[in-house]
Chains A and B, each alone.
Chain A
């Protein structure tokens, strides 16, 4: 009985360590690259913290929000930003976000993900070498 309780405590502690690791990794990427934390937090939530895919995607946004606010303040206070560009992108992202969320069930197919990954690879290659 006592052993069982001990096991439970160990399990809980393990869960906390994994949660902390998830936070450290995604927060670091968010501060460093100003984005991309979500790409890490979704797989980490499902692999280490037992989230189902749907819940991981939804919860990831809530987790990233405070990181984005904090690093947004840091970046905005140190980098000059083109306000017109910012406002246009902001509006575009809201419109696109609604379209993406509505299309999620129909469109997030294998081919879209493959095309997306190839585009990302090309962009990464260009950034790294040119």
Chain B
């Protein structure tokens, strides 16, 4: 049990570091949970969503203090996003965990290619 708790925390820390670095901690925390711990896809998604809430409140407060947050058009983004968020969840709810896992895998592959290309390009610009 104690070992499991340490493992959970370590996985959270790894996901958090990447999240804090702005590289999408969630996209790594979910596969860490499903691949290493064998957590179900939907449960991993729920844990990912909930575990980033406290961290994002802290991050927002810090960024707001440093005047990094811009409020241009943010209302449009959030309001339209809330609607499509319901739609996205509706689809996820009706998919089996296994199909959702495969879709998420495809999404990860696309993101990894974008990241890879971005990383290679970032060297050239420096």
Contact = CB atoms under 8 A, between A and B. Distances in A.
Given A75-B89, A92-B11, A110-B123, A100 B46 contact: no
Interface residues of B, number: 99
Interface of B is mostly: helix
Contacts of B52: 35, 64, 68, 93
A91 B79 CA distance: 30
Contacts of B34: 127
B78 A23 contact: yes
Interface string A1-40: 0000000000000011001101111111111111111110
Interface residues of A, number: 92
A20 B78 CA distance: 8
Nearest to A120: B112
B72 to A, nearest CB: 7
